[in-house]
Amino acid sequence: MATVTLGSGTFLYEVVEGWAKLPSGWSFKEVAGVGVDAHDRVYAFSRGQHPMTVFDRDGNFLTSWGEGKFARPHAVTMGPDDTMYCTDDGAHAVFKCTLEGKVLMTLGVPGKPGPFQGGQPFNRCTHVALSPTGDIYVSDGYGNSRVHKYTADGKLLLSWGEPGTDPGQFNLPHNIATDTAGYVYVADRESHRVQVFDPSGRYETQWNNLHRPCGLFIDKDRGSGQLCYIGEAGPGMAVNKNVPNLGARVSILTLQGLPLARLGDRLPGEGPGQFIAPHGVAVDSHGDIYVAEVSWTAYGQYLTPPREVRTLQKLVRKH
């Protein structure tokens, strides 16, 4: 099989087909979130029977956990202290866990949503980000239009946002990330933008020219500044599902919003170098990109008869 390369210039990536080696008979169904720990182990948070599956850099299966404990996995955020935050939008809760799955802290009341668009945590929360000082931000979400800020031990400090399309308003805050200066980046999915706030929730700016941004990942500063990797979902309506250049890609931007690379094909698909619905993104210490796709949710309606859809990809950076 011919090697497929995405990107250009200094942002060239080789597509690794069939990277994750699940045990025989297992299925992801779809991977909603992905994270990488300090040892470059990869954690795939999926909606199958084995919610958290762990792999080494080569895709070899290491272990699994979380069976029967999550309602609808949505995102995973790695902590700086060998912990992770699992966002479960079906349970309306965030679980801080060890890397082996022991729950250390819960934000929200599992199974009890806040009032729809009522501003109180949570109604189908979507993701977590950690400030440089350890504060916790939660994007909330499908049934709310807020960002909530907590102390490291789970005390609610403040919330901001409301439904709408003006600056500081949200039309589905789907993902959240922070940089080393403490600024907060929110993927405002259905407004096709990323909004940037200071740590107190004051609006700073926004990035446009995106299509349904779902996944956000801000990498470590490797000497040339931090970069933001954005997973953009493809068209969500039948009327435009065959229109080219509408998402289904991973974009790399500077923290000033300058696009550096677009990784993907002109159309969604399952071929090498194509994406369907990039939903979670993570980058390891080598600069390789892992992309979690909710391909079944986004594409299952078009599949007859139902079958497996690729949902986790690795892109190896070529240096």
Residue 46 bridge partners (DSSP): 31
pLDDT reading at 303 higher than 80: no
Can you say whether the dihedral through the CA atoms of 291, 292, 298, 304 is positive or negative? positive
Percentage of the chain modeled with pLDDT above 90: 87
The predicted pLDDT at position 133 comes to 95
Which tokens go with 231?
A: 């997973």
* Confidence band of 305 (pLDDT split at 50, 70, 90): low
Average model confidence (pLDDT) across the chain: 95
How far the first Cα of the chain sits from its last, in Å, is 22
pLDDT reading at 242 higher than 90: no
Q: Class of 5-317 per CATH?
A: mainly beta
The predicted pLDDT at position 36 comes to 98
* Confidence band of 237 (pLDDT split at 50, 70, 90): confident
78-82, 152-156, 219-223, 224-228: which is most confident: 152-156
The predicted pLDDT at position 238 comes to 82
Residue 282 contacts residue 35 (beta carbons within 8 Å): yes
Helices and strands, counts by H and E, the chain: 1, 25
pLDDT reading at 288 higher than 90: yes
What average pLDDT does the segment 270-297 reach? 95
pLDDT reading at 17 higher than 90: no
Which tokens go with 297?
A: 């949710």
What average pLDDT does the segment 105-122 reach? 97
| Domain chopping of the chain, boundaries | 5-317
Residue 245 bridge partners (DSSP): none
What distance in Å separates the CA atoms of residue 267 and residue 53, rounded to the nearest whole number?
Answer: 29
| Interval 188-218: pLDDT, tens | 999 999 999 999 999 999 999 999 999 999 9
* Confidence band of 172 (pLDDT split at 50, 70, 90): very high
The count of other CB atoms within 10 Å of the CB of residue 152 is 15
